[in-house]
Amino acid sequence: MIPTSGLHARQSGAIAILVGLSLFVLMAVLGLVLDLGHVYVVRSQLQNAADAAALSGAKQLDGTPAGVSSAVSYAIATAAQNRYDFNQQVNIDIGDISLGSCPLDSCMVPASSVSTTSQAAGLTFVKVLIPSGNLDTWFMRAIPGGQQTVSTYGLAVAGKYVVNITPLAVCQLPDPGTTNELGYERGVTYRVSDANPLGPGTMYWIDPASSTPGQCSVTSTSDTLPYICSGKTAFTPMVGQTVNTNTGVSTPQVMALNSRLDIYTSQNKCDPTTAPPDTNVKQYTYNNNAAGSPGKWMNPAPVQQSITFGTYGKTYQQMPYASRTFADYGVLWSVSRPLNATVSQWPTLYKGNAVSYPESSPYSQTGGNYFQSPSSAHQAVPGRRIMNMVVVDCTTAGGVCRPAKVLGIGKFFLQTQVSGPKNVYVEFAGMLPTPLPTGDIKLYR
C-alpha cells in the first residue's frame, strides 16, 4: 500500500508543472494576441493614410506632367497629415507612389518615371504603398527565439477609368427624312466640318479634362494632343449635361487621329504605345481604283467621299433624303449599315447597287483586298478607328470654353487619312447606349 501523503506530494508537483507550462503557453498566446493587435492597429492607421493619399493624388491627374507632379505632392502632403504607432507622422516620398491607366499592378509605372506629356496621358490611377518599417514587439521578444520586430503596410489604389471618347464634338443635324439618330444615318459618310447647321467649315473640340461650365483646364493644342491621340477624356460626358466646347481646331490636333491608321509623325506627336493603330488600317477612299476600294463594292463608283451638304431652307445641312441621287452619297457601308438592312435593299435605299459586297463589311475583313495590317512593330488594337464623339446642341457651342448640351455619344468610323480640319471623313455607326458609366474617382483596393 502506497502512503497517501507521498501520492499527494507527487500530484501537487505534477500540477505545479502543468500550471507553469500552461502559464507559459498562456503568456505566449497573450503576447501573440497583443502583438498582433498592435500590428492590426498600425495596419489600420497606415491603410487610412494610404486611402486618403491615393484619393487626393488621383484628383490631380489630368494627363499632363504638371498633373503628375501635383498628384505626387498632394499624396505626400495628405499622408503626412496622418499618424501611426503612437503619434508617429506618416512620411512617404515619390518612390512609394505609382501611376497607371488601370488599378492593376500590370498597369502601373513608378511616378518618378513619368516626365513627358505622352507618358502622362491616360494615367488616371494612383497607387500609394506606405511601409511601417520595423515595429518592436512587446511580448514576443521576451520569449526565447521570439520575433524582435514585425512590419506591416498600407496600400491603396484610387482613380477613375478614362472614357473612350475622342474630344471632338459634332452637331445634331436636322432630320433628313429617313431613319436617323440625331440627324445621322448609319452607313453614311460625313465630312465633320460640314456637319454643322450653323455653317460649313467649323469644327469643335471639347475640353477633355473638365465639364464644369466655363472652367477649361486644357486649352492649347499641345495639351489636347495626348487625349486626341488616345481617344479618351478624363470625365464622362453625360446626356443632358454640358461639355465645354472650343473652335479653332488646328491641323496637328486632327492629324493626331491618323495614329489609328498607323501614321505617326512629328506633327501629330502620337506614341504607338498609348495611341496604337487599328488591326485593319485599310483606307476606303472614293477615288482610289485599287482592289479593295469603295468602287469595288459600289456601282456606280462614288464620286465624292461624303454625302452632299448645302443650304436647304434656312439651314446648312445634308441633302434631304427625297432629293438625293446616288451621286449625292459618298462612301457607303465601309463599316456599318442601317439597322436590319441587307445588301438586297441597296438599290431601294440608295438608287444604286452593291456589287460583291464583302459581308459583313469591308472593315471587318481580316484578310484580302479590304484588309491591311499595321506595322508588326506596333501592338494593334481592334476597333481603334471607331471613334466615340459627343453630339451636342451647337446653338451654344463654339468660341473659347463655351458650354454646350450633350445630346448623345455617337460612333464614327475614320475612313481615310486626315490632312487638315476640313478633311476629316467619318462614317456613322450608331449611338452608344445611355447612360454611360461615370468616371468618378474612387478607391479600387
- pLDDT tens for 408-435 read 999 999 999 999 999 999 999 999 987 7
Spans of all domains in the chain: 4-159, 161-439
Q: Which residue has the higher pLDDT, 18 or 397?
A: 397
The mean pLDDT value of the chain amounts to 88
Name every residue whose Cβ is closer than 8 Å to that of residue 377 and which is 6 or more positions away in sequence.
272
Contact criterion met (CB below 8 Å) for 278 and 378: no
Residue 130, C-alpha cell as written in the block: 506606405
Among 47, 97, 39, 91, smallest CA distance to 72 is for: 97
Mean pLDDT of 177-183: 96
- pLDDT > 60? residue 4: no
Among 384, 369, 287, 297, smallest CA distance to 333 is for: 297
Kindly compute the dihedral angle of the four CA atoms of residues 210, 274, 239, 222, in this order, to the nearest 10 degrees: 40
pLDDT tens digits, 338-348 = 999 999 999 99
- pLDDT > 90? residue 223: no
Distances (CA, A) of 330 to 25, 308, 353: 86, 8, 13
Contact criterion met (CB below 8 Å) for 155 and 128: yes
Q: Which range is least confidently modeled, 38-52, 187-201, 237-251?
A: 187-201
Q: What pLDDT, on a 0 to 100 scale, did the predictor assign at position 163?
A: 75
- pLDDT > 60? residue 7: no
- pLDDT > 70? residue 208: yes
Contact criterion met (CB below 8 Å) for 122 and 439: no
Question: Where do we find the cell 488600317?
Answer: 281
Say which DSSP state 354 is in. Answer: E
Q: Which residue has the higher pLDDT, 5 or 354?
A: 354
- C-alpha 399, offset from chain centre: 27
Q: Which residue has the higher pLDDT, 431 or 5?
A: 431
In DSSP terms, 131 is beta-bridged to 153
pLDDT tens digits, 99-152 = 998 888 888 999 999 998 768 877 889 999 999 888 877 766 666 666 778 889
